[in-house]
Amino acid sequence: MADSTKRTRRRYRLGRRAETTGETRQRIVEATFQLHSERGIADTSMTDIAERAGVSVGTVYHHFPCYADAIGACGAYTVEHAPAPGATIFEGASSRAERIARLVRALFDYYQRVPALESARRNRHLAPELDAFAREEARNRRRLASRAAGPGGAALAAALSDIDVYRALRREGFGTADAAGHVAALLNHHLDAGPGTSHRSVRE
């Protein structure tokens, strides 16, 4: 009976220790996500992460032996908690104009949720995961643009729904919804103008 009780207590201690370790790791990843959003990836250090997470620098290195590992974990957290829009955004859309409007709004909302995307592009050399993340973002945006606008308007739709356009409009004082509305209106006006202007297809 005594041995059974000891084993039970030991399993409890091990389970609790694993739970605490998992909680600490999660806190570090969340701190990394916050700092990347606020400062950018290149301007965040392991010391910054430790201070934000409320742990020692040694604890951060225990979970993530190098900064690239922390970046990779942050990327996985971003994909899980702030996923990029997919083809479901077009469900029920009955016209090209509506698809365009949904495309731009969904992407602009995504950029608002993931402000570190700009930094991921700029600093993609810091970790393979960043490069892969940036490449997939571009591929996904182009796929969605092709679905929304068709082959003839896909390139323009992909370009005008890019984060650089979103950021420029925000700097000029437009809110996310207003920015999306204006870009969608411009795109639809251009596409409604017909074959008077040339377009090229977007390669995925």
Mean predicted confidence (pLDDT) in 38-62: 96
| HSE value, Cβ hemisphere, 13 Å, CA-based, for 123 | 17
Instruction: Calculate the CA 197 to chain-centre distance.
Output: 33
Residues 74-94 have a mean pLDDT of 94
Q: What is the mean pLDDT of residues 43-63?
A: 96
Token pair 């308007």: residue: 153
Predicted TM-score (pTM) of the model is: 0.81
| CA distance from start to end of the chain | 65
Is residue 196 predicted with pLDDT exceeding 80?
A: no
Percent helix, percent strand, percent coil in the chain, to nearest 5? 75, 0, 25
**Tokens in use for 91?**
């469900």
pLDDT of residue 204: 44
> Has residue 25 got a pLDDT over 80?
yes
Q: What is the pLDDT of residue 20?
A: 78
